[in-house]
Amino acid sequence: MNPLIKVLLVEDNPGDARLLREALAEMADARFELTHVERLSEALRRLDEERFDIILLDLSLPDAKGLDTVVWVQGQVSHLPIVVLTGLENEELAAEALRRGAQDYLVKGKVDGNLLIRSIRYAIERKRAEDQIQKNLRRLRALREIERATISTLDLRTVLDVLLQKIDLLLPYSATTVRLYNKTTGLLEPIACRNVEEDEWKAEPWKGGRGVPNVVFESKTVWIAKNVQTDPRVRDPDFFKRHGLVSYLGLPLIAKNEILGVLSFYTKQEHSFSDEEVEFLSTLADQAAVAIQNSQFYEQVRASRDAMEQANKIKEEFLSVMSHELRTPLNAILGYTEMVKDGLQGPVNSEQEKSLEKVVLRTRELLTMINGILQVTSMEALRLKAQGYPFNLNEFLDDLRSGYEFPSDKDVTLHWEYPADLPVLESDPEKLKHILQNLINNAIKFTQRGRVTVSARSLADLRHVEFQVADTGIGIPREMMPIIFEKFRQVDSSETRSYGGVGLGLYIVKQFTAGLGGRIEVESAVGGGSTFTVTIPQMVGVKQPSNGSSVSV
Ligand code: ADP
């Protein structure tokens, strides 16, 4: 049997009203209940008291005329379909009423039973479809808002706050809770809630895994209970009874196949969650799960970064303390050995002197290494920024050169090439000296025979100077070029390598060069020698030029 349709007819003309009533009565198989009123005010009062399925509305009533009539009715009952009744001369107005939200119009005097029923049914269906579209639009908008809000932050608390706040706007009838699985404790912990007494909710004896959400968590599927207070599957109904929570919908929060927790909805009145509602809330849960997972990932990354930073700090402190402690006894060893070697404590024969010389040499190497480590750790701790002051570059290079005027035990000659009119720099000479000494010492160390050339020139822009240290030594494989500037990295790091050193020199050089606002580049060929080029601004703080033909760091 067709369902009963309750019609409110608002018509002040008794003749028209009678015709409509008769037209409806003709249709034997349709079930209508018609209520007739003559004024809009009365109609609004009836609508307030009673539920109708449709309203047939005349547009010229004693207390309302034209489109306002439609607007008033809609203002009071937005869900109600409206069929407008007009005279022949008023079809324009009726068309406008459709644009304002009425579902259909009928021209009075031209209505038979079939037409009327068809119009009523059509209006009801059309209104239902329109409402559905509106509802879907609202939901889509809400999903988009939730998405936008949750991707704008990675903080879990904020993500959940936004989520619950939006749900509250969308489903004002519900209380919502979020539980998340804690991998460490193995428990589904209460994290956030809305419209539930939070302290009590969190204090509930949930730890035994007795809550309804555990069922959702374990089954990883949607779970619905019409009444959690009486459902035999619910083991702890007291909490729900105390808080008047009745129907339940639990959704698993799953992202990338991993179950993260459970999103729960409770209603205060018995509520049947429709398929459509479940589908919408599932979409929402999926979206929330992605946001939750992202923020959890972020938390993990942050925690491990903090842990790494902490470990680094400890390592640096350890290295710093250790180097310091090692330096003192080494200096003592060096002092005493030199005293013995120089015969200050009695004569030593030439054999003994040679051995002692080796001890002194190795101890010095060890000291250099330890000083390097100390320098790196203090450099990293302080993140040193260079302090510049003016000095004459020619005098600086002359001075540096004089430090190398000693006979070498290798077949390597050292050449200096720089013009006499180099500019005055405003930079840090101590750092520059360290940089060049390191490069020169490396060049000598890694060259068995041939030459090492140190050169300097002022660049065409007159704002930068360039230094080059070129050797004819063993060269560096291309793939190792960027690596040699890293801490403790060497081309040959084997136990049996033929060159001393710890691999800190170039790291310090790179840091110091950067500190001077400059850059360092290397060109090299295995067996064909290496050229290190350092470019620094004449005044600290001026940006370095960019030219990217060779490997630069
Ligand atoms: P160390 O010299 O103490 O090993 P460095 O940081 O100064 O450490 O250099 C790192 C590595 O780069 C060296 O071990 C070596 O393999 C390579 N290297 C540096 N300079 C040269 C050079 N002039 N010729 C060949 N290899 C070099």
Residue nearest to atom 11 of ligand 1 (CA): 490
User: Residue 137: beta bridge partners?
Assistant: none
Please choose, from the candidates 435, 318, 414, 425, the residue with its C-alpha nearest in 3D space to the C-alpha of residue 373: 318
Q: 250 phi and psi, to 5 degrees?
A: -115, 135
Confidence at residue 417, expressed as pLDDT on a 0 to 100 scale: 97
Please choose, from the candidates 432, 448, 442, the residue with its C-alpha nearest in 3D space to the C-alpha of residue 504: 442
Euclidean distance between the first and the last CA atom of the chain, given in angstroms as a whole number:
85
Confidence at residue 356, expressed as pLDDT on a 0 to 100 scale: 92
User: Residue 76: beta bridge partners?
Assistant: none
Confidence at residue 400, expressed as pLDDT on a 0 to 100 scale: 93
Q: How far is the CA of 525 from the centre of ligand 1 (A)?
A: 14
Is 460 within 8 Å of 453 (Cβ atoms)? Answer: no
Determine if ligand 1 sits within 6 Å of the CB of residue 476: yes
Full strand arrangement of the beta sheet holding 54-58 = 32-37, 5-10, 54-58, 82-86, 104-107
Fill in the DSSP letter of residue 344.
B
Confidence at residue 426, expressed as pLDDT on a 0 to 100 scale: 93
Does residue 542 have a pLDDT over 80?
no
Confidence at residue 488, expressed as pLDDT on a 0 to 100 scale: 73
Determine if ligand 1 sits within 6 Å of the CB of residue 442: yes
- Helices and strands: H and E segment counts in the chain: 14, 20
Confidence at residue 351, expressed as pLDDT on a 0 to 100 scale: 93
Q: How far is the CA of 499 from the centre of ligand 1 (A)?
A: 9
Confidence at residue 547, expressed as pLDDT on a 0 to 100 scale: 41
Does residue 305 have a pLDDT over 80?
yes
Could you tell me which residue, 83 or 361, shows the higher pLDDT?
83
Give per-residue pLDDT as tens, 472-531. Answer: 999 999 988 888 998 877 777 665 566 766 678 898 899 889 989 999 999 999 999 999
Does residue 240 have a pLDDT over 70?
yes
Is 123 within 8 Å of 5 (Cβ atoms)? Answer: no
Does residue 377 have a pLDDT over 80?
no
CA distance 65 to 350: 127
For 12: left if phi > 0, alpha if psi spans -120 to 50, otherwise beta; the answer is alpha
Give per-residue pLDDT as tens, 331-350. Answer: 899 999 999 999 998 999 99
Determine if ligand 1 sits within 6 Å of the CB of residue 280: no
- Chain centre distance of CA 128: 41
Mean pLDDT of 199-214: 74
Residue nearest to atom 1 of ligand 1 (CA): 503
Confidence at residue 493, expressed as pLDDT on a 0 to 100 scale: 65
Confidence at residue 383, expressed as pLDDT on a 0 to 100 scale: 57
CA distance 438 to 442: 6
Is 228 within 8 Å of 247 (Cβ atoms)? Answer: yes
Confidence at residue 366, expressed as pLDDT on a 0 to 100 scale: 85
Confidence at residue 156, expressed as pLDDT on a 0 to 100 scale: 85
CA distance 213 to 187: 11
Ligand 1: atom nearest CA of 507 is: 6
Q: How far is the CA of 498 from the centre of ligand 1 (A)?
A: 12
Give per-residue pLDDT as tens, 105-163. Answer: 998 888 888 888 899 999 999 999 998 888 888 888 878 887 887 777 788 888 888 88
Confidence at residue 541, expressed as pLDDT on a 0 to 100 scale: 58
Is 168 within 8 Å of 192 (Cβ atoms)? Answer: no
Residue 100's Cβ-side half-sphere holds a number of Cα atoms within 13 Å equal to 20
Is 491 within 8 Å of 484 (Cβ atoms)? Answer: yes
Confidence at residue 54, expressed as pLDDT on a 0 to 100 scale: 94
Does residue 464 have a pLDDT over 90?
yes
Token pair in block for residue 140: 């889509």
CA distance 235 to 136: 36
Give me the percent of the chain exceeding a pLDDT of 70.
91
Residue nearest to atom 19 of ligand 1 (CA): 442
Confidence at residue 180, expressed as pLDDT on a 0 to 100 scale: 93
Determine if ligand 1 sits within 6 Å of the CB of residue 32: no
Q: 358: helix, coil or strand? A: helix
Confidence at residue 437, expressed as pLDDT on a 0 to 100 scale: 93
Confidence at residue 380, expressed as pLDDT on a 0 to 100 scale: 63
Residue nearest to atom 4 of ligand 1 (CA): 503
CA distance 273 to 290: 24
Q: How far is the CA of 436 from the centre of ligand 1 (A)?
A: 14
Is 8 within 8 Å of 43 (Cβ atoms)? Answer: yes
Average pLDDT of the chain to the nearest whole number = 86
Fill in the DSSP letter of residue 27.
-
Distances (CA, A) of 263 to 173, 177, 198, 532, 552: 16, 6, 15, 61, 53
Burial of 342 (0-12, 13-18, 19+ CB in 10 A): exposed
Residue nearest to atom 25 of ligand 1 (CA): 475
Confidence at residue 386, expressed as pLDDT on a 0 to 100 scale: 60
User: Residue 261: beta bridge partners?
Assistant: 180, 253
Residue nearest to atom 8 of ligand 1 (CA): 503
Helix ranges, 191-251 (H) = 198-203, 212-219, 238-243
Determine if ligand 1 sits within 6 Å of the CB of residue 469: no
Give strand ranges (E) for 40-173.
Answer: 54-58, 60-61, 64-65, 82-86, 104-107
Band of pLDDT at residue 395, cut at 50, 70 and 90:
very high
Is 457 within 8 Å of 506 (Cβ atoms)? Answer: no
Confidence at residue 550, expressed as pLDDT on a 0 to 100 scale: 37
Confidence at residue 327, expressed as pLDDT on a 0 to 100 scale: 83
Could you tell me which residue, 551 or 54, shows the higher pLDDT?
54
Mean pLDDT of 191-207: 80
CA distance 235 to 229: 10
**Which residue in this structure is represented by tokens 């306002």?**
68
Confidence at residue 553, expressed as pLDDT on a 0 to 100 scale: 37
Mean pLDDT of 547-551: 36
Q: 325 phi and psi, to 5 degrees?
A: -65, -35
Tell me the pTM.
0.52
Determine if ligand 1 sits within 6 Å of the CB of residue 530: yes
